[in-house]
Chain A
Amino acid sequence: MLHPAPRWLDAGEAALVVEFGDSVDPTINARVLALDAALRAAPIEGIVEMVPTYRSLMIHYEPLALSRSALMAHAQGLLRTSAAPGSPDRRSRSGGIDAPMRLWTVPCCYEPPLAEDITAAGEVLSLSSERLAELHAGALYRAYMYGFAPGWCYLGGLPAALALPRRAAPRGPTPWGAVLIGGGLSLICAAPMPTGWYVIGRTPERLFALDRDPPFLFEAGDAIRFEPVGRAAFARLEERAGRGAIVSRLMTESMA
């Protein structure tokens, strides 16, 4: 639920949380990202960094350089001029007022053995592997937030037919690039990790590569689409990604 007005919560004396709601919801997340973008466009001395999440923006600040009241007044001013929550054309956008909308087309192989859990997930969902892959690749996702580990980016927009509970017991570590579904979300694995999510595909793309510029591929708010590729294409793209190339396609639409 979207709060009638944002809540301002202290997380210690050096972090202020602007909470817009209490659920995973594109409308709430758009408000979070709009304030994040506005603060990035109009920075003030004393803000250290911002962390956008599904439903809130955490503003880390140095209270000896910027008082809580001055920070709050600045953010409130930006909310008044930038958020325009009633405006449908703004609400449909993923980024902030000055951010261009970015759409990534990310290659994904949905074939076993790379899609190692696709059959198991299909059984839980009563879907064939082919239908599951078609539904996953047919949806448009939004990068809601990063969390958990470097490059772990939670994607909203999973079709309802693919929503399934996480496993009761975690599966073994997922490989780099595993494309996962769990709860109502999708995720690309940026570091091998045991997880309760299902591996339904694998992308050759690296969401986080220390030696690449930029090291992180997605910004919160980016739109993402998966493009099915066969195993031969996967191997080719993986080889290129290993040499530091970005193998996804980026389309940028200016919001003029």
Chain B
Amino acid sequence: MSVALRIRSAGPGVTVQDAGRPGYLRYGVTPAGPMDAGALAAANLALGSAAGAAAIEASLGGLELEAEGGVIGLAVAGGAFDLRLDGAPLPSACRLALAPGAVFSIRAGPSGAWCYVAVAGRLDLPLALGSLATHARSGLGGLSGRGLAAGDRLAVAELREPPSCLSAIEAPWLALSAAPIRVIPGPQHDRFTEAALRAFVETDWRLSPRSDRMAYRLEGPPLVHSAGHDIVSDGVALGAIQVPGDGAPLVLMADRQPTGGYPKIANVIGADIGLLAQKRPGESFAFVSVSIEEAVALRRARAETIAAGLSMRPLAPELTAEFLLAANLIGGVADATQE
């Protein structure tokens, strides 16, 4: 039997994502890709894979996985999720071996909204326009262009040796923070009143429950346009903050359309997109404006931090033994204890 990950259960919005689908924005194709690219990179790098390799993106609805046909090495990173192997708690960023018969589960933890499950191998799915990134709305990528559901089976090709012990992943860029999200003024910031521009940076915005991979909707005072809310469509970048007629800002995320017709008051800087993505509905945060030079410097600092790599901390031997038992790697002993 070929080796595969079987989905035992999946909340809404669990998808396969890689670094995204560049090159087709001009044909109306949404880029998709990870909500938190730094977290995807951490999971992949922990297994020695390319930072943008395809992995499973899970969210607050949770996910349960099991291995079929062989032991599969996994690495998980993202928000502070509640991860368990056969019920035993794991660090929220870790590398483990998943043996057939064991159940690996992800549930919402104290903070964070997205996490990534990378495999020590390759998710064996067909490329769509050069990428495995799922865009469910247009039915492209991933598994049949849709989110994952109970019973789905993801074949793993080019399977590599699983890790020999459980380790915590220590990657400084995974730290969440309540610091204001940094933005630079948007291409149509001159289409807002002075009061709206002030309110934009002075408000504690609340993330609306009506937020998804396409857009994060913000609750706060309506932002008033100075020259109407319809503009002739133009390009939309990751993190663009559009303000439609109702005055409620929308931050355009991974599943954004490549063009749009509402004025953009600001744009979240690249270094802070992941931080924003990890906010949960109901969480509050502020925006602060920085210069484009600062945005580039922060982008460089973040790229250098990620390039410096992460470290793996093997867990205490007694813990490791416990996890090996749970993972059924010490077959005879595990069988004995279960009986």
Closest CB-CB distance, B39 to chain A, in whole Å?
19
Indicate if B259 sits at the interface (CB-CB under 8 A): yes
Output the nearest chain A residue to B240 by Cβ-Cβ distance: A11
Indicate if B245 sits at the interface (CB-CB under 8 A): no
Chain A residues 7 to 24 lying within 8 A of chain B, measured CB to CB, are 9-15, 17, 19, 22-24
Quick check: B269 and A19 within 8 Å, CB to CB?
no
Select one of A9, A12, A145, A190 contacting B233, CB under 8 A.
Answer: A145
Quick check: A13 and B299 within 8 Å, CB to CB?
yes
Quick check: A60 and B27 within 8 Å, CB to CB?
no
Complex interface: chain B residues within 8 A of A216 (CB): 24, 27
Indicate if A79 sits at the interface (CB-CB under 8 A): no
Q: How many Å lie between the Cα of A216 and that of B28 in the bound state?
A: 10
Indicate if B264 sits at the interface (CB-CB under 8 A): yes
Interface size on B, residues (CB 8 A): 44
Quick check: A150 and B269 within 8 Å, CB to CB?
no
Complex interface: chain A residues within 8 A of B23 (CB): 49
Interface size on A, residues (CB 8 A): 43
Provided the pairs A53-B233, A153-B28, A220-B26 are in contact, do residues A147 and B296 lie with their beta carbons within 8 angstroms? no
Output the nearest chain B residue to A8 by Cβ-Cβ distance: B187
Quick check: B25 and A24 within 8 Å, CB to CB?
no
Closest CB-CB distance, A95 to chain B, in whole Å?
14
Output the nearest chain A residue to B298 by Cβ-Cβ distance: A13
Q: How many Å lie between the Cα of A64 and that of B299 in the bound state?
A: 8
Closest CB-CB distance, B38 to chain A, in whole Å?
15
- For the residues of B in contact with A, the DSSP-based class is mixed
Complex interface: chain B residues within 8 A of A159 (CB): none
Closest CB-CB distance, A33 to chain B, in whole Å?
11
Complex interface: chain A residues within 8 A of B29 (CB): 150
Indicate if A56 sits at the interface (CB-CB under 8 A): yes
Q: How many Å lie between the Cα of A67 and that of B327 in the bound state?
A: 50
Q: How many Å lie between the Cα of A9 and that of B265 in the bound state?
A: 12
Listed residue (A146, A148, A150) with the most chain B CB atoms within 10 angstroms of its CB:
A150
Indicate if B267 sits at the interface (CB-CB under 8 A): yes
Q: How many Å lie between the Cα of A10 and that of B237 in the bound state?
A: 10
Indicate if B238 sits at the interface (CB-CB under 8 A): yes
Closest CB-CB distance, A66 to chain B, in whole Å?
11
Indicate if A51 sits at the interface (CB-CB under 8 A): yes
Listed residue (A15, A58, A147, A191) with the most chain B CB atoms within 10 angstroms of its CB:
A147
Select one of A15, A17, A23, A210 contacting B232, CB under 8 A.
Answer: A23
Indicate if B235 sits at the interface (CB-CB under 8 A): yes
Write out, one digit per residue, whether chain B residues 27-60 have a CB within 8 A of any chain A CB (1) or not (0).
1111000000000000000000000000000000
Quick check: B22 and A150 within 8 Å, CB to CB?
no
Complex interface: chain A residues within 8 A of B330 (CB): none
Quick check: A147 and B257 within 8 Å, CB to CB?
yes
Indicate if A247 sits at the interface (CB-CB under 8 A): no
Indicate if B88 sits at the interface (CB-CB under 8 A): no
Indicate if A48 sits at the interface (CB-CB under 8 A): yes
Closest CB-CB distance, B307 to chain A, in whole Å?
11
Closest CB-CB distance, A57 to chain B, in whole Å?
8
Quick check: B267 and A22 within 8 Å, CB to CB?
no
Complex interface: chain B residues within 8 A of A15 (CB): 235, 237, 267
Query: B residues near A, CB below 8 A?
Result: 22-30, 128-129, 137-140, 184-187, 231-240, 257-260, 264, 267-270, 292, 295-296, 299-300, 303
The contact sample of 17 A-B pairs, CB cut-off 8 A, is: A10-B184, A11-B264, A12-B239, A13-B295, A14-B299, A17-B187, A49-B26, A51-B235, A51-B259, A56-B234, A64-B299, A68-B292, A146-B26, A146-B258, A147-B233, A148-B28, A150-B24
